[in-house]
Structure 1
Amino acid sequence: MKAVWIVDDDQSIRWVLEKALARVAIPARSFDSAGQVLAAFETETPSVLVTDVRMPGEDGLSLLHRIKQAQPGLPVIVMTAFTDLNSTVKAFQKGAFDYLPKPFDVNAAVGLIQRAARTDEKEAPAEHGTESIPRQTGRVMVQSASPAMQEVFRAIGRLAASSVTVLITGESGTGKELIARALHDHSNRAQGPFVALNAAAIPKDLLEAELFGHERGAFTGATQQRRGRFEEANNGTLFFDEIGDMPLELQTRLLRVLAEGSFYRVGGSQAIQANVRIVAATHQPLEQRVAEGSFREDLFHRLNVIRLRLPPLRERTEDIPALTQLFMRNSAEDLGVPARRLSVEAMHWLSSFNFPGNIRQLENLCQWLTVMSSGQVIEAKDLPPEVLEHVRNQGAKPIADTHDATPNISSQQTTQRSEADVALARVDLAAPAWTRELTQEAERRLMRNEPAIMATLLRDFERVLLETALAHSRGRRMEAAQRLGIGRNTLTRKCSELGLDN
């Protein structure tokens, strides 16, 4: 068997994958740059190429493109710690076998590599380039730290070259139309129209004419011919929102269009070809509505070709800081005012809220804060009543307002406090919680003029990692070293240095 090639500028990632592959008797060869791979590729080829995206010099997507030009059938797995919709779609459009977000489970990574090695790709995947990708309109969905949303991004990437029907499910307010737009914007129909139709918002009597159009004189008031949504979406995407609310009689006509690929205007006698991609969305359990007899089973199966489930916001709380930062900025731009920011405590309280209205509720809340807050920094006490009530029900106690003056405060303390506020302003709310806390801890130590801050924090960081890995592996040092991506001798030496031998 040919070796699996691993390309990553991070030595620990290369080491972990090499050792994991060796355990299942798969030979591996490591490279730390795209240039090394391309040089080796002139004389030999791997069974599978696993490459990072962000590397010094040529990046992984460029390497993927060049490798696929030279050998289209070679499976290439792209891995990165910077999971976002655009890079995911680009990877699949350039022919990636799959996309592996970091941090990954080692066993899952090995299983993916084994699957890629067994794949006999007889045809090169279609390439569409990246220059024609239009600007993403759903900015909310462009990036996510949530594994569930990363799966949605991967699905969008896989569907980029296909016109297959997609059914999007999820609670109200989760952003189903944004995902539908992303499917359109990153597909080979991106240059065509995206037409949305809400089946629940149009009166039952008008829905058929709205969907299929009508001829002049077809009914009272039809004074001229009118194109329907199917014609408007020609060569593009037709998005049916709240498809579960569509009347049964219209479901029958829609089923016929999906089956035959053509339709008739209301009052018309000439068949019109329907060259559209169908994306449907619902917050209702369609299987249940089928069982109740309010939704056609055959239409359900026609729509349920590929299903994407959008998680509610309470299942992706790690995205709340980034979404809040985005919505606060958008609201400020709309109102022509400086963007507000939330204090650490306010953000903590906001992230604990369950948001029954999901992303839409968070966006509305940010607009409320922008309008109603009097200062640039929004404290916990400034949050809307429903959030404060939730916090009280959870038993949390407010933290004293850091901006309140105290009786005998010195000018030096006042200066330090204002510097601390500036430090908070520099905290990236989109970053993981532990890095935000690290930023604040570093600022506090710098303000106290502590010496050797880096050495102290690095020592504490290593101690926490080693103690946690050893506890997770129940004291088995070889396993702990493998999970950390370091050698056993390195782990033993660091344990000795940090006094963890016992």
Structure 2
Amino acid sequence: MKPIWIVDDDQSIRFVLEKALLREGLPTRSFTNPREVLKALDSEDGQEGPQVLVSDIRMPGGSGLDLLTTIKARLPALPVIIMTAFSDLDSAVSAFQSGAFEYLPKPFDLPKAVELIRRALGESQREEVSEKTQVDTPEMLGQAPAMQDVFRGIGRLAQSHVTVLITGESGSGKELVAHALHKHSPRADQPFVAINTAAIPKDLLESELFGHERGAFTGAQTTRRGRFEQADGGTLFLDEIGDMPFDLQTRLLRVLSDGNFYRVGGHSAVKANVRVIAATHQNLEQRVKEGVFREDLFHRLNVIRLRLPALRERREDIPMLARYFLQRSAQQLGVEPKRISDAAIERLSHFQFPGNVRQLENICHWLTVMAPAQVIETKDLPPEVLDVQVPAATVPESMSAQAQSSLAPTAQPMPGAAASASADVSAAWAAAPSSATVSAPVSAPLASGTWEPGLEAEALRLLATERTDVWDVLTRRFETSLIQAALATTRGRRIEAAQKLGIGRNTITRKIQELGIEE
């Protein structure tokens, strides 16, 4: 792993961060001013650069904000943390506008600083994986088995001239597949022409496809080439072919049969050397049975069929696609790309996406514009995603009981629940592991003051063994459950959670680190 670079003219700051990161097994490299950093980047041993950069704002050898701007121009994916005194909050805002990952106010809590650097480290590593993945497949993304089948099909069909029928739900990316088939075919240097047959009125569609002669109808003042002629030598993509009017289907069948057609109002046959790729979200077999789609045209189109899976069938691709679309939206809007938290990705992954990949792309564009912070959290997701009920089985084990109950319907206590609560809690304590990330036990609603017998029963059970760490074990479980409950109540806001618990901000930060609590 590449080192974390620390830039500060204060030797004590550098020393403290170096030692703290060393204890975490993280390599570091320190500099006293921005000039040294830029010199290291230019030197042979600094070609790869740092994994994360932590820099002060005010230094004798230059400004940390100027360094941030320079670094972002050279290493745009590098997370940069800006250290700033409270008097420099205006500078902190400037840091965000320049693309900083986060700012760290001085004086800072050391555990909080290490935690922040770890978050930046994780983001840096995710970006590296994402970049490597997208280098090979910039036009289409997907690691799910269903998408790999599509990619294999494209590979086999690309060098062929055979007609292809692409099926799949709206928004699943059928036109992208058609583009890929054309791009990797011998016709790649010839035109790719697309037409949505459902989006053009019936009276105009014939002229759009086959062109018209001058005077063929009112308003036809010049001869016009249709899409078949425009695509000559290349590929014609007929989207939503299932909605094509019945009488036009006959003319299309004739073109597919012999490659000849007539312009509207024309008397001379026009020859078209065109590969046809058709797509539909409809069940063409059913359309044939209903008598609205010609069976002979169906068989002519259905030489090779590629089925594109819905996004809900390839949920493992959602994180990669979301980060890709966030990057692309940022480029289109000319802004710094936003990052998305693991919790927000998890919530997105449970959405059904009736609009498929197109809907995910639109959501990412919306988030680029509307999300208030540089890191997208669950609460920033659009209402249609947040309204979806998350299955109980998918709730992370480290989530507290309060957080779990907030995702499921409220359970009503059964008669006699209070009487059996003590036994329930005792069983929960007995079954709970000794890990620091233990969840608060989920049991029937408890009457006030009924948890102490369960604690006593678990203490007696442990004391009956040869263990000599009963105090530490139970204290860790108790503190873990208490802090998780408070964080769930405040939606992860530490300062507010500390106030509710009646402890200090530094105390809750230290406890979270010591107990290994995952927020």
TM (norm. structure 1) is 0.54
Residue 387 of structure 2: SS of its match in structure 1? helix
Q: CA deviation at 1:341?
A: 1.5
Aligned to 1:263: 261
Q: Does 1:339 align with 2:337?
A: yes
Aligned to 2:284: 286
Q: Does 1:382 align with 2:380?
A: yes
Alignment of 1:180-199 (within 5 A): 180-199=178-197
Residue 269 of structure 1: SS of its match in structure 2? coil
Q: CA deviation at 1:270?
A: 1.2
Q: Is the 8 A contact 1:162 1:187 kept in 2?
A: yes
Alignment of 1:160-239 (within 5 A): 160-239=158-237
**Shift in alpha-carbon separation, 1:381–1:153, aligned structure 2, 3 A:** same
Distance in 2 (alpha carbons) for counterparts of 1:263 and 1:137: 42
Q: 1:241 aligns with which of 236, 239, 242?
A: 239
Distance in 2 (alpha carbons) for counterparts of 1:155 and 1:243: 21
Amino acid at match of 1:163: H
Aligned to 1:27: none
Alignment of 1:425-440 (within 5 A): none
Q: Is the 8 A contact 2:494 2:505 kept in 1?
A: no
Q: Does 1:359 align with 2:361?
A: no
Amino acid at match of 2:217: F
Q: Is the 8 A contact 2:197 2:205 kept in 1?
A: yes
Distance in 1 (alpha carbons) for counterparts of 2:287 and 2:136: 30
Amino acid at match of 2:170: S
Aligned to 1:143: 141
Aligned to 1:467: none
Distance in 1 (alpha carbons) for counterparts of 2:511 and 2:338: 22
Q: CA deviation at 1:161?
A: 1.3
Aligned to 2:432: none
Give deviations 1:310-365, integer Å, cap 9, x for gaps.
Answer: 00000000000000001111111122221111211111111111111100111111
Q: CA deviation at 1:392?
A: 5.8
Q: Is the 8 A contact 2:168 2:280 kept in 1?
A: yes
Amino acid at match of 1:321: P
Distance in 1 (alpha carbons) for counterparts of 2:158 and 2:287: 30
Residue 374 of structure 1: SS of its match in structure 2? coil
Amino acid at match of 2:307: R
Q: CA deviation at 1:137?
A: 13
Q: CA deviation at 1:139?
A: 6.6
Residue 280 of structure 1: SS of its match in structure 2? strand
**Shift in alpha-carbon separation, 1:359–1:143, aligned structure 2, 3 A:** closer
**Shift in alpha-carbon separation, 1:218–1:224, aligned structure 2, 3 A:** same
Q: CA deviation at 1:378?
A: 1.3
**Shift in alpha-carbon separation, 1:141–1:314, aligned structure 2, 3 A:** farther
Aligned to 1:251: 249
Q: CA deviation at 1:140?
A: 6.8
Give deviations 1:52-101, integer Å, cap 9, x for gaps.
Answer: xxxxxxxxxxxxxxxxxxxxxxxxxxxxxxxxxxxxxxxxxxxxxxxxxx
Alignment of 1:316-331 (within 5 A): 316-331=314-329
Distance in 1 (alpha carbons) for counterparts of 2:330 and 2:345: 18
Residue 389 of structure 2: SS of its match in structure 1? helix
Q: Is the 8 A contact 1:216 1:223 kept in 2?
A: yes
**Shift in alpha-carbon separation, 1:415–1:163, aligned structure 2, 3 A:** farther
Aligned to 2:505: 409
Q: Is the 8 A contact 2:178 2:277 kept in 1?
A: yes
Aligned to 1:55: none
Distance in 2 (alpha carbons) for counterparts of 1:137 and 1:167: 28
Residue 349 of structure 1: SS of its match in structure 2? helix
Aligned to 1:62: none
Aligned to 2:297: 299
Give deviations 1:159-197, integer Å, cap 9, x for gaps.
Answer: 121110000000011000010000000111000000001
Distance in 1 (alpha carbons) for counterparts of 2:305 and 2:390: 39
Residue 328 of structure 1: SS of its match in structure 2? helix
**Shift in alpha-carbon separation, 1:351–1:220, aligned structure 2, 3 A:** same
Distance in 2 (alpha carbons) for counterparts of 1:173 and 1:138: 23
Q: CA deviation at 1:413?
A: 3.8
Q: Is the 8 A contact 2:494 2:508 kept in 1?
A: no
Distance in 2 (alpha carbons) for counterparts of 1:237 and 1:386: 38
Alignment of 1:474-485 (within 5 A): none
Amino acid at match of 1:410: N
Give deviations 1:130-165, integer Å, cap 9, x for gaps.
Answer: xxxxxx999775332111111111111111211100
The alignment's C-alpha RMSD in Å is: 2.8
Distance in 1 (alpha carbons) for counterparts of 2:512 and 2:330: 29
Distance in 2 (alpha carbons) for counterparts of 1:140 and 1:280: 23
Alignment of 1:484-499 (within 5 A): none
**Shift in alpha-carbon separation, 1:222–1:194, aligned structure 2, 3 A:** same
Q: CA deviation at 1:272?
A: 1.1
Q: Is the 8 A contact 1:137 1:181 kept in 2?
A: no
Distance in 1 (alpha carbons) for counterparts of 2:155 and 2:143: 17
**Shift in alpha-carbon separation, 1:151–1:141, aligned structure 2, 3 A:** farther
Percent of counterpart pairs with the same letter? 63
Distance in 2 (alpha carbons) for counterparts of 1:244 and 1:179: 18
The aligned length equals 286
The answer to which of 368-377 and 163-172 deviates more is 368-377
Residue 390 of structure 1: SS of its match in structure 2? coil
**Shift in alpha-carbon separation, 1:280–1:370, aligned structure 2, 3 A:** same
Aligned to 2:312: 314
Q: Is the 8 A contact 1:137 1:182 kept in 2?
A: no
**Shift in alpha-carbon separation, 1:216–1:300, aligned structure 2, 3 A:** same
Q: Is the 8 A contact 1:166 1:278 kept in 2?
A: yes
Q: Is the 8 A contact 1:193 1:235 kept in 2?
A: yes
Distance in 2 (alpha carbons) for counterparts of 1:411 and 1:255: 76
**Shift in alpha-carbon separation, 1:141–1:149, aligned structure 2, 3 A:** farther
Amino acid at match of 2:162: V
Give deviations 1:436-488, integer Å, cap 9, x for gaps.
Answer: xxxxxxxx79x9xxxxxxxxxxxxxxxxxxxxxxxxxxxxxxxxxxxxxxxxx
**Shift in alpha-carbon separation, 1:392–1:149, aligned structure 2, 3 A:** closer
| Residue ranges of structure 1 left out of the alignment (5+ in a row) | 1-135, 418-443, 448-502
Aligned to 2:86: none
Q: Is the 8 A contact 1:165 1:278 kept in 2?
A: yes
Q: Is the 8 A contact 2:140 2:176 kept in 1?
A: no
**Shift in alpha-carbon separation, 1:351–1:392, aligned structure 2, 3 A:** closer
Q: Is the 8 A contact 1:168 1:176 kept in 2?
A: yes
Q: Is the 8 A contact 1:138 1:179 kept in 2?
A: no
Amino acid at match of 1:204: K
Amino acid at match of 1:356: P
Distance in 1 (alpha carbons) for counterparts of 2:324 and 2:388: 23
Aligned to 1:22: none
Distance in 2 (alpha carbons) for counterparts of 1:137 and 1:305: 32
Residue 188 of structure 2: SS of its match in structure 1? coil
